[in-house]
Amino acid sequence: MNSAPEFPLVVTLADAAHGRDISVEADVEARSRIAERLGLAALDRFAVTAAIRAVAGGIAAKGEVRADVVQHCAATDLPVPAKLTEPFDLRFLRDIDAPVSEDEEIEISSDDLDLLPLEGDRIDLGEAAVQTLSLALDPFPRHPDADRILAEKGVLSEEAAGPFAALAKLRGKPDA
């Protein structure tokens, strides 16, 4: 996928060398493109704050993503609004994608989970922020009225349709 980034925010090694604080909000057009990419009904706010600094072999970015999102209910497709604040602490480093032989065992610590490759002398903090938002989204958002709406349409709840409900019905019957 070689499409243009929805929210480009390029930071270079030169920026990081002196340290840099970033605070930006996406405009309406960028929010619309991000919402489309992430399958959101709407993205009313998308803001990134970060402290950028140089680290051995790359760039460190620590901050947070704040977003006002509207997702589609997984059961009814009704809008489900949410306010998200998701912190991040990322390291963009050279040579983290070095090839590994098939026989070599790799141990990954929790510190290694937020390592990303440095792209030449720059990073796209905007893309990292969009990915941070995508990971923070509720994978199965549910509207507060979903159970009532589904019941009105005759859809049984898990409790009423599951195997334990069938056993509970059998428990009330006399033995033959």
Number of domains in the chain: 2
Do 150 and 139 lie in a common domain?
no
The domain containing residue 33 runs over which residues? Answer: 10-143
pLDDT 10s digits, 48-77: 999 999 998 899 999 999 999 999 998 888
Burial tier of 64 (Cβ tally within 10 Å: 0-12, 13-18, 19+): middle
65 and 35 fall within a common domain: yes
Residue appearing with tokens 């243009």:
4
Q: Is 150 domain-assigned?
A: yes
Does residue 86 register a pLDDT over 80? yes
Is residue 104 a part of any domain in this protein? yes
Residues 167 and 137 both lie in one domain: no
Pair (106, 36) in one structural domain: yes
pLDDT at residue 102 is higher than 70: no
Q: Is the confidence at residue 162, as pLDDT, over 90?
A: no
Single out the residue of 39, 6, 40 nearest to residue 126, CA to CA: 6
Whether residue 87 sits in one domain with residue 56: yes
Span 2-29, mean pLDDT? 91
* Inside any domain, residue 3: no
Cα gap 89→160, rounded to integer Å? 44
